Amino acid sequence: MKKIICLLAINFWFSSAYSQATHEDSVAMYQEVMNHYLDSINGTFKYQTGQITLDGGFATIDVPKGLRFLDAAQSKTVLVDLWGNPNANGIIGMLFPEKYTPLDENSWAFTISFDEMGYVEDGDAEDMDYAELLTTMKKETSESNTERIKEGYDKIELINWASTPFYDKDRKVLHWAKEFKFGEATDNTLNYDVRILGRKGVLSMNAVGKMSSLTEVKPVINYLLSSVKFTPGNQYSDYDSSVDEVAAWSIGGLVAGKVLAKVGLWALFAKYIKLIFIAVAAAFGGIWKWVKNRKDKNQDMDNNMPVTKT
């Protein structure tokens, strides 16, 4: 967001220089253009609350208080058009805090997807050494940086668990959070993962935000775990060994899954890059119109100025 402000400042400097606008005029223009532009985008979204049947009919979600739901089509708009992700494949919805919009700097959101990987056996859950797993994941993340840099991306460092993995065997839910550092970014990034096990696969909810968002995200987790219900026939307890496939993944495998494999984690970083161009384009369009109107007004004043003799 600081980059946006810097770029906008440059635009305003040039426009002010040519139109002889005051600093106060420029600041006011910035606020007016950006507020109008962001309001027009946010006004297009139709959020839902209450109980919602997810696409496919395999599960329902009773949207927790303080959150609101966007369907698959609108989620694609956010992820691809606003946040700059290459696609939103597999995303069947998003959950946003009511106090934020997708374009707010401090916003965070859960992406929702379903991976039909099969029935995940949970026999290894109690045997997992998550400290050892973290060490392995850090090593693998570091080793992948060479290729990542070649492809033009910043290096990534897995710092620590932001919340240690926890599996509730009774409810068949798993959740954990990781802290990442990207490149030379001053703010580390939070990636909070929730997995709810079903008969034929796993419902995934992934939240991404700044590390400062952890204080807002963590209290929501317990409500979120209780809000999702698989429909009859799709529940974990409905597993039939004679017809259902067993997933190749275990509980530990779900936690150790490929870093950056999920659309949610890419979303945050692409989001800020894309917003720079959106903001500059919107502001420049507004500034140019304002400058042109100001010049036309000054020109009219010059043309109407009485001629005096000396």
The type of residue at 15 is: S
The pLDDT, as a whole number, for residue 249 is 85
Instruction: Establish if 20 belongs to a structural domain.
Output: yes
pLDDT 10s digits, 271-289: 444 444 444 444 444 444 4
What span, in angstroms and rounded, lies between the C-alpha atoms of 301 and 145?
61
Tokens of 168: 């509730």
The pLDDT, as a whole number, for residue 262 is 39
Q: State how far Cα 309 lies from the chain centre.
A: 67
Instruction: Establish if 302 belongs to a structural domain.
Output: no
Q: Are residues 121 and 198 in the same domain?
A: yes
Residues of 149-169 as b/e, b for ≥16 C-beta within 10 angstroms? Answer: eeeeeeebebeebbbebebee
What span, in angstroms and rounded, lies between the C-alpha atoms of 209 and 70?
18
The pLDDT, as a whole number, for residue 80 is 84
What span, in angstroms and rounded, lies between the C-alpha atoms of 196 and 265?
19
Q: Are residues 192 and 279 in the same domain?
A: no
pLDDT band at 148 (very low <50, low <70, confident <90, very high): confident
Give the chain's largest Cα–Cα span. Answer: 106
pLDDT 10s digits, 103-124: 887 889 999 999 999 999 998 8
Averaged pLDDT of the chain: 78
The residues facing 66 across adjacent strands are none
Instruction: Establish if 138 belongs to a structural domain.
Output: yes
What span, in angstroms and rounded, lies between the C-alpha atoms of 110 and 91?
10
pLDDT 10s digits, 238-261: 999 999 999 988 898 899 875 434
What span, in angstroms and rounded, lies between the C-alpha atoms of 146 and 73?
36
Q: Are residues 89 and 112 in the same domain?
A: yes
Q: Are residues 124 and 264 in the same domain?
A: yes
Q: Are residues 26 and 129 in the same domain?
A: no
What span, in angstroms and rounded, lies between the C-alpha atoms of 154 and 97?
29
Instruction: Establish if 93 belongs to a structural domain.
Output: yes
- Mean pLDDT over residues 142-148, rounded? 85
Q: Are residues 17 and 110 in the same domain?
A: no
Whose tokens are 């392995």? That residue is: 136
- Mean pLDDT over residues 131-156, rounded? 86
Q: Are residues 258 and 276 in the same domain?
A: no
pLDDT band at 293 (very low <50, low <70, confident <90, very high): low
pLDDT 10s digits, 61-94: 999 999 999 999 999 998 888 877 778 889 999 9
Packing angle of the helix pair 23-42, 263-303 (nearest 10 deg): 130
Residues, the chain: 310
Percent of the chain with pLDDT over 90: 44
Window from 86-100, 174-188, 223-237, 282-296 with minimum mean pLDDT:
282-296
pLDDT band at 167 (very low <50, low <70, confident <90, very high): very high
pLDDT band at 128 (very low <50, low <70, confident <90, very high): confident
Instruction: Establish if 310 belongs to a structural domain.
Output: no
Q: Are residues 135 and 211 in the same domain?
A: yes
pLDDT 10s digits, 178-213: 999 988 888 888 999 999 999 999 999 998 888 999
What span, in angstroms and rounded, lies between the C-alpha atoms of 105 and 275?
10
- Contact (Cβ atoms closer than 8 angstroms) between residue 174 and residue 202: no
Instruction: Establish if 309 belongs to a structural domain.
Output: no
68 closest CA partner among 266, 220, 229, 214: 220
The pLDDT, as a whole number, for residue 272 is 44
Number of domains present in the structure of the chain: 2
Q: Are residues 56 and 172 in the same domain?
A: yes
- pLDDT of residue 2 exceeding 70, the answer is no
What span, in angstroms and rounded, lies between the C-alpha atoms of 214 and 204?
18
pLDDT band at 3 (very low <50, low <70, confident <90, very high): very low
Question: DSSP strand E in 102-260: where?
Answer: 109-115, 156-168, 173-182, 189-197, 202-210, 228-230
Q: What phi-psi label fits residue 247: left (phi over 0), alpha (psi between -120 and 50 degrees) or beta?
A: beta
For 184-215, the DSSP string reads T-SS-EEEEEEEEE-SS-EEEEEEEEEGGGHH
Instruction: Establish if 209 belongs to a structural domain.
Output: yes
3-state secondary structure of 306: coil
Q: Are residues 261 and 283 in the same domain?
A: no
Q: Are residues 189 and 256 in the same domain?
A: yes
Q: What CATH number should be reported for the domain holding residue 179?
A: 2.60.120.1690
Instruction: Establish if 306 belongs to a structural domain.
Output: no
Q: Are residues 157 and 279 in the same domain?
A: no
What span, in angstroms and rounded, lies between the C-alpha atoms of 201 and 231?
13
What span, in angstroms and rounded, lies between the C-alpha atoms of 256 and 254?
6
The type of residue at 261 is: A
Residue range of the domain that includes 25 = 2-42+272-294
pTM: 0.73
Tokens of 24: 């106060």
pLDDT band at 44 (very low <50, low <70, confident <90, very high): confident
pLDDT band at 11 (very low <50, low <70, confident <90, very high): low
